[in-house]
Structure 1
Amino acid sequence: MSLRIVAGQWRGRKLAAPAGDTTRPTADRTRETLFSMLVSRIGDFEGLAVADLFAGSGALGLEALSRGAASCLFVEQYPAAVRAIRTNLANLKAQGQSDVRASSVLTLGPAKAPLDLVFLDPPYGTGAGEVALDKLRRLGWIGPGTWISLETAADEVPALKNFAVEADRKVGKARITLARLPAA
């Protein structure tokens, strides 16, 4: 699959994707729909602190950086995917805005501050996204202002306890769920 940045300063730039089938890169069309959903809710990405968890190629975080996000934490445990992320960051000269962690999302410790936007694209059918969200909330990565994007298979309906679903849309083989902590 050929991956490209959809919009922003790196629009049209090709991205390296990890070889093999350990990861499933978010299709350009799905990414385009996701970012359209986000823009209509949060406006622009200027200055946002973002995380791309279960990052794969890093396409979601790189798309956010291309659109003006200040920083992105990439977390991915598969070595080939981590290499693809590092290659993409080097090609885009975005290492200074990025923190790449070659580990499981579940090994993250307490956050210094909540993030503005969290992308989760876990393996389909595992429930890993819900487990990760619960842990991230407890460790302070997710605060009252944090937007969450969870990608699952189109036929999966994520069980997001402790979160309010703001939008839910099927796009091809994927389902995009946007959520936040409920208003107090």
Structure 2
Amino acid sequence: MGRTSNKQKSGSRGAAGQLRIIGGRLRGRKLAVADLPGLRPTTDRVRETLFNWLQFELPQRRCLDLFAGTGALGLEALSRGASEVTLIERNATAAALLTEHTRALNDQCHGSATVAQADALQWLTQAKMPPFDIVFVDPPFHSDLAAPACALLQQQQLIHSGSLIYLETEKEWPLKVPENWRLEREKLAGQVCYRLFTVAAEEDLT
């Protein structure tokens, strides 16, 4: 993913196409997207809906963007007031481009974003850090990564009671998430199903 500064473009190396930040301090900023097969940025329509859901939740929150790809979700969260955003991306080219963007964008936002080039499931297994308030889970379609990623978030205590989890999958994916995740929102857009969950405390389970 790439980024345009006020005077010049950055992140153009190995880039094809652009992604636009749709809200917040960076609204309208165009970001270059790495030229990689299968890279699928979340559409403007879906992002608009998602961030309408989250509009009062993002300020000063710690966010995790798994399978970050173009960074469409994590960088949108940064633009809209998140205090910390951690983006996890396995592909070296995409991660390098994301790193360029975060270095440039951090100075223009109240929060900061960092990038880790890593396999998301391995990163979840090894991560040692406080729980996140908001997590974006948007793995490649038909990859069988959504369920284990959700399970690891819970097992590794990387979320807490009240955390919000955004999950984007192919519409035929059989829903399989931890039992204390409560479905708050769910919509379809073509072949995409996207959902927002709240993590419930054990004492709240019925």
Corresponding residue pairs, total = 181
C-alpha deviation, 1:83, in angstroms: 1.9
The question of whether the paired residues in 1 share the 8 Å contact of 2:19 and 2:32 is answered with yes
SS in 1 for 2:23: coil
Identity of aligned residues (%): 35
CA distance in 2, matches of 1:18, 1:155: 28
Match of 2:78 in 1: 65
Further displaced range: 3-12 or 92-101: 92-101
C-alpha contact (below 8 Å) 2:162/2:200 kept by paired residues: no
Indicate if the aligned counterparts of 1:152 and 1:158 stay in contact, CA closer than 8 A.
no
Other structure's SS at 1:160 match: coil
Going from structure 1 to structure 2, the CA distance change for 1:128 and 1:3 (only over 3 Å counts) comes to: same
TM-score of the superposition, structure 2-length normalised? 0.81
Q: CA deviation at 1:143?
A: 1.0
Specify the alignment match of 1:161 in structure 2: 178
> Structure 2: any 5+ residue segments left out of the alignment?
1-16
Q: TM-score, normalised by structure 1?
A: 0.90
Taking the aligned partners of 1:112 and 1:169, their CA distance within structure 2 comes to 31
1:76 maps to which residue?
89
Q: Which runs of 5+ in 1 are unaligned?
A: none
Q: Which of 132, 146, 151 lines up with 2:149 in the alignment?
A: 132
Q: Greater shift after overlay, 153-162 or 66-75?
A: 153-162
Q: Give the alignment of 1:1-184 within 5 angstroms.
A: 1-39=17-55, 43-93=56-106, 97-108=112-123, 109-162=126-179, 163-183=181-201, 184=203
Higher-Rg member (1/2)? 2
Contact 1:149–1:176 under 8 Å retained in 2: yes
Q: Structure 2: how far apart are the matches of 1:165 and 1:127?
A: 20
Other-structure match for 2:5: none
Deviation at 1:56, TM superposition (A): 0.3
Report the alpha carbon displacement of residue 157 of structure 1 after superposing the two structures with TM: 4.0
Q: Give the RMSD, CA atoms, in angstroms.
A: 1.9
- 1:172, distance to aligned residue in structure 2 (A): 3.2
